[in-house]
Every structure is written in structure tokens, then in C-alpha cells.
Amino acid sequence: MKEKSQINGELQTNEELQTNNELHMNKNEDKKKGFFSKLVIGLSKTRDNLIGGVENVLNSFITIDEEFYEELEEALIMADLGVNTVLKVIEDLRVKVKEQKLTSTEEVRELLKNELKSLMLVNEDAYDFVDQKTVLLVIGVNGVGKTTTIGKLSNQYKLAGKTVMLAAADTFRAAAIDQLKVWANRSGVPLIAQSENSDPGAVVYDAIQSAKAKNTDILICDTAGRLHNKKNLMDELHKIYRIIEREYPAAHKEVLLVLDSTTGQNAVQQAKLFKETADITGVVLTKLDGTAKGGIAIAIQSELKLPVKYIGVGEGIDDLRPFDSNDFIDALFNIT
């Protein structure tokens, strides 16, 4: 007699359960393949810029000599990887080529891919906050896609079975509150907001009380991004931190910095400034599909030691995904 389990009020055999599990796994695999294809397309401009220059060097040399390294170094710098990162990559390549006694540029291509992947590895526990009570602060200057990122994350967490609440703590722009309302309605999650120019700390306080009362899994707080006055920004963020620590000490605190990929090295400078004022736990890179400067993803992680946790390659609500260094580099090299 076949064993049966009850799912959604219906008895199912083990074989049926296994089939359902396989269908679910296949659906997730198809979804992943679909995003990888979108990643390949979305990174086309960066690929032309970064890998195009690298391939030109690799195809132009037969032997691995000093001139080869100089040309490869220049190609990588031109692709917005950052000078310090490029110098490290080239030095590591030199050592490994010598150690492994490599003689062909094709072998250097594989070394380069692996080197870039290693620079961008994200720790396995980077997304553990999703499985615990979390207050997530989203920071970044206006225009980088901060509010859109919040909307996409809230939808993503909700689809993963989490309860989500939003807090409109960027009270200096009326548009920011209105935009967040649109995303809250679209994602079907509650929003805590006050009027324009309200105290951001008061908004966060109210949101924490509501989140605790409703046993909400993830509270996502929008914050004002004003880099022209770092002292005000620092004071405001520190005040919000103190409120969270005082009112919700049991919650995990996650701070995501949103950066616009199209601004290239300017995004790296923004990251440096925000790092001075906030305890950033991860970076969100938006608009990767509209830029040739996606190499900054490597520079940010390598030079600033800030993990890129999410990347955006489109306008759709599903076009923001957790970052995977293997997928990212494979998409750049267009491996299918």
C-alpha cells in the first residue's frame, strides 16, 4: 500500500509528491535560466566594453610577455574596474601564469575569469537576514532607483512568503512618499508614512511599533540621500540607528546602499562617502542593462570590500535579483 501525505487538504502519494517537487524545481530552474538570459542581454554594453577590449588583447598576442600584460592592464582600466583592482588582477595573473607555466593567451582567459569571480564572491550568509526579523535601511542619493529598489525587494520578499512593511522615512521629498505608496499598493504591503518634512526618526519609530505589533518579518525603510551635507546625513542615520537599537534590539539591521551603474566611477565615489557615514552591509547596483560601465561592480567589491548583494537589469518587478558572481562573469564572457 502506498504511503500518502495530506497537502492542501488532498491526499497525495509519495510519487505524486516527488513529481510536484520536480515540477517546482524545474520551474525555479527555468526562472533562473530566464534571468541568466536577461543578464547576458542586459550586460551587452558592459561586455562590449570590458570583454571586447580584453578579447582584442588576447587575440592580438601569441606569447605572454610584458607588452601583453601592459595592454591587458589598459583594457581593464578602461572598463571601469578601477586602477587598484586592475593592478591586483594583473599581479595575480603574473604569479599564476609563472607558477602554472602557462604559454597561451587562451589559458590566461580562463585565469582572468576565475580571478574576477573570486574578487566578487558574496558570503553564503549574505542573505540570512531574510530568514529573521529584520529592519532594512535603504540609502542612496536621489535618482539612483532607490524607491524602485524598495518596491522590487518588497515584492520579492513577499513572494518568498515573508510579511513585509514599508516606512517612508525620506520625508524631504513629497515625491518619495508618493512613489513609495505606489510601490506599496503594487506589492500589496502596508506603508507607514507621515507628511512631507516630518521627522524621519518619528516615521521609523511608528513603523517599528507597527511591525512588532503585527509580527512583520521585514521592515524596509526608505531614507533621504543628501550627500551635499554629510554631517546632516550622518546625524540623521545615527538617529535612526539609535531608534532601531532602542526600540527593536532583537531585530537584525541591514543597510543596503543603492548605486546607479551608469554613473561609473562616480558611483564608486558615492560608495566611499556613504561608507564613511553608514554601516553598509551590502550594495544594490541598478541600471546595469543601460551602461557600459558595469565593471564598477568589480571595483566596488574589490576596493571597498562592500558586497554587491543585488543587481538590476531591467524595469520589470522581477528584474532585481540576488547577485551571483559566477553568473555575472559568465554572462560577461557570454557563456551559455
**37 within domain boundaries:** yes
**Residue-level pLDDT at 227:** 63
Question: Hey, what amino acid is at 64?
Answer: I
Per residue of the chain (336 residues), give pLDDT as tens.
Answer: 444 444 444 444 555 545 444 444 444 444 555 667 888 888 888 888 888 888 899 999 988 999 999 999 999 988 888 898 999 999 999 999 999 999 888 889 899 999 999 988 888 888 999 999 999 999 998 889 899 999 999 999 999 999 999 999 998 877 889 999 999 999 899 999 998 889 999 999 999 999 999 999 999 999 987 665 667 777 888 899 899 999 999 999 999 999 999 888 888 888 998 888 888 999 999 998 888 888 888 889 888 999 999 998 888 888 898 998 888 888 888 754
Please give the tally of structural domains in the chain.
3
Which set of grid coordinates corresponds to residue 32? 533562473
> Model confidence over 122-166: pLDDT tens digits?
888 889 999 999 999 999 988 898 999 999 999 999 999 999 999
Residue 105 sits in the same domain as residue 185: no
Residue 310 sits in the same domain as residue 173: yes
Residue 320 sits in the same domain as residue 229: yes
Domain end marker among 119, 147, 173: 119
| pTM of structure | 0.84
Domain end marker among 91, 119, 147: 119
**Residue-level pLDDT at 246:** 96
Asked if residue 169 lies in contact with residue 222, where contact means CB atoms within 8 angstroms, the answer is yes
Strand partners, 168: 222
Residue 8 sits in the same domain as residue 21: yes
Residue 115 sits in the same domain as residue 82: yes
Instruction: Give per-residue burial for 115-153: e unless 16+ CB within 10 Å, then b.
Output: bbbebbebeeebeebbeebbbbbbbbbeebbbbbbbbbb
**Residue-level pLDDT at 86:** 93
Residue 181 sits in the same domain as residue 144: yes
Residue 17 sits in the same domain as residue 160: no
The interaxial angle of helices 174-187 and 146-159, nearest 10 deg, is: 20
Note the Cα 286 to chain centre separation in Å. Answer: 8
Evaluated on CA atoms 263, 267, 269, 270, the torsion sign reads positive
Which set of grid coordinates corresponds to residue 332? 560577461
**Residue-level pLDDT at 332:** 84
